[in-house]
Amino acid sequence: MINFQAITFADREKTNEILKLSGFRAAEYSFANIFNWSKTFNSEITFFEDFLLCRSGMEKKSYLYPAGAGNLKAAITAMMDDAVLLGQPFVLRAIQAEGKQLLEQLFPGRFHFTLLRNTFDYVYHSEDLINLSGKKYQPKRNLISRFNKNFEWHYETITTGNLQECVQMNDEWCRMYACHENSSLQAETCAVRRALNYFSDEMLVGGLLRVGGKVIAYTVGEQINSDTFIVHIEKAFGEEFPGAYQLINREFAGRHAARLTYINREDDTGDEGLRKAKLSYRPVFMIEKYSAELITA
């Protein structure tokens, strides 16, 4: 029997050790993401041998594909037993291609798989986002050039000294876009506030843009494995300051991800506008993800 509990900072070191061992690039395999979204998704974790196990959901639970090393079949079986105790179907999520293959080998014919496009992560070459070279990035360069002509700007690394200004800018952004009227934006706002409140404790890195002394854009992320940086948050007053999103993207990548090969900018949640924007940066690949439901007799 395994015992799931709410994630706390006491779990950070062990969680990060296991996630580093796994080497996953997907957004779900970040302590910061699990912690920041834990209130929204009612996420709980436990450790099984050298695996991190996570389950989420209010009434209906689902389980994150295990991260770690060792007896994968035993880890998954332990989660199956937990679902039985809850009297619920067993559903795994965030399964990548290799994980799907392993599940089919370990439990042949026992799972029904569903490819979930809305959860695919967008992964880019760092040098592409930094240099914006070539014809395909001409529209991005044009927007940045226009921004440079229209505004005098200043970039700063986020520190304890300017962090509160990012919180205030985020609150203003939410008022502007009526986050309280959109359940998805409400959930995101909760996670973003948690990330900013625990910014230093989570060992995140961030950058902001100022125009006339005012913070008009900021972004936050971290290194997720040996070759990949992940961007968790990016906000800008893009309508008032056209080109702000493109500029903060480029500046942040150049300062914090230049030594790494890839940048993961997470999924699009099925939002068509966000999907179009992320595709316009030409991802080098997508991290495809499946869910799997145990087939019962």
Pick from 136, 92, 97: nearest CA to 120: 97
Bridge partner residues of 45 (DSSP): 5, 54
Residue 297, pLDDT > 80, answer no
CATH top-level class for 5-120+289-294? alpha beta
Contact 255, 220 (CB under 8 A): no
pLDDT mean across residues, the chain:
95
How confident is the model over 95-108, as pLDDT tens digits?
Answer: 999 999 999 999 99
Structural domain spans, the chain: 5-120+289-294, 122-266
Residue 143, pLDDT > 90, answer yes
Phi, psi at 271, each rounded to 5°: -75, 120
Helix boundaries (H) for 91-137: 97-106, 126-131
pTM comes to 0.95
Q: What is the pLDDT of residue 183?
A: 87
Residue 73, pLDDT > 90, answer yes
DSSP class of residue 260?
S
Give me 69's structure tokens. 């090393």
Reduced to 3 states (helix: H, G, I; strand: E, B; else coil), residue 132 is coil
Bridge partner residues of 62 (DSSP): 56
How confident is the model over 202-243, as pLDDT tens digits?
Answer: 899 999 999 999 999 999 999 999 999 999 999 999 999 999
Contact 288, 121 (CB under 8 A): no
Q: What is the pLDDT of residue 21?
A: 85
How confident is the model over 276-286, as pLDDT tens digits?
Answer: 999 999 999 99
Domains 5-120+289-294 and 122-266 share a fold: yes
Second-level CATH architecture of 122-266: 3-Layer(aba) Sandwich (3.40)
Section 149-162 average pLDDT: 97
Q: How far apart are CA 81 and CA 90, in angstroms?
A: 9
pLDDT band for 185, please (50, 70, 90 cuts).
confident
Residue 262, pLDDT > 70, answer yes
Region of 178 (left: φ > 0; alpha: ψ -120 to 50; beta: rest) is: left
Q: What is the pLDDT of residue 296?
A: 85
